[in-house]
Amino acid sequence: MANVDLEQRDLQAAATSHRGDRIFNRSITAAAFVSLIVLAGIAVFLGAQAVPVFQQLGFSFLTTTAWDLNSDPLDVGIFGMLYGSILLAVIGLAIAVPASLLLSIFIVFLAPKKLASFLTNSIDLMAAIPSVILGLWAFYMLNPQAAEWQRLLHEYLGWIPLFQNDSGNFFGTPFIAGFILAIMVIPITTSVTREVLGRTPPELINAAESLGCSLWTMLRYVALPYGRGGIVGGIMLGLGRALGETIAVFFVLKLIYDTNWYHVIESGGGSVATLIVSRFGEASGPFEVQLLLAAGFFLFLMTLGVNMIANLIVSRTGRLKK
């Protein structure tokens, strides 16, 4: 009888466990569908606002740089802002990716446990800092220092078009905006990269060390190839953050509607997000609000495209690893 009672209790516990698993799975599935519905709702709303803009302006809305609502015909477009969004994101990633990789390698393979734990907690804490706080810090503290850095770049590397500055004004430049974006991207990219590198199988590392491989050789042929997909995913997550950042860039970048092609230390630039936040509160009428919402729709599409490309790269690198 005792054995029968034990078996019955085991069956009841198993049934309860399976019931809990089903409830959990259904809850997660429902949450995922809600997220998709919300995302679809945002896309439909922004797309509906973009339709009248496209009907009136056509593709010139995407190829025009000016923002003049008083001209006849209407001379309004977001090309400069779209390009500016990409330029700022590239500058931010150019600074953040090497720093994140080196920091992740140091935490995983070189740092003592206590120091690694301290750095990990500090980086995770950095990710929680609101962008408005970083923007204010950059405006009051980073701007004067960064202006001196840019002046030195112009003085010694001004023969490179990238570091030319003809106006003499080194405040409110894409370089400063990209630098603050890098500070915001580093915690995300470092967290993902650290986690991926930390999951490198110890037997692979030990085998490389037993063959006499140096740390660089082990990283090059074992750790980095093993975590390639995750590292790329972390970088693309950082890129998505950089493309959509608003307040911090708004504080440090002087908004102009001309296209700043490559002069990263020349004052002035812009992005779609900063255009929206700077114009939305003082929109001249309902049509300008529609213009700004249409700009948001194309920023949404660009961010969605980045995420799709990231998924393709991650899946492809995962297949290559196998």
pLDDT tens per residue, range 142-190? 888 888 999 998 888 888 888 888 888 888 899 999 999 999 999 989 9
Other CB atoms within 10 A of residue 297 CB? 22
pLDDT, tens digit, 9 for 90 and up, residues 227-284: 888 888 888 888 888 887 888 888 888 888 888 787 888 888 888 888 888 888 787 7
Task: Give residue 225's pLDDT band: very low, low, confident or very high (50, 70, 90).
Answer: confident
Asked if omega into 187 is within 30° of 0 (cis), the reply is no
Which structure tokens are listed for 26? 């259904």
* CATH class of domain segment(s) 78-321: mainly alpha
Residue 76's H or E segment, with its range, is: strand 75-76
CA distance 292 to 79: 13
Domain ranges (residues) in the chain: 2-57, 78-321
**Terminal C-alpha separation, the chain:** 52
Q: Are strands 75-76 and 67-68 parallel, antiparallel or unpaired?
A: antiparallel
> What is the rounded CA–CA span in Å between residue 269 and residue 171?
11
- Residues of the chain with pLDDT > 70: what percent? 92
pLDDT, residue 307, reads: 78
d(CA 25, CA 231): 28
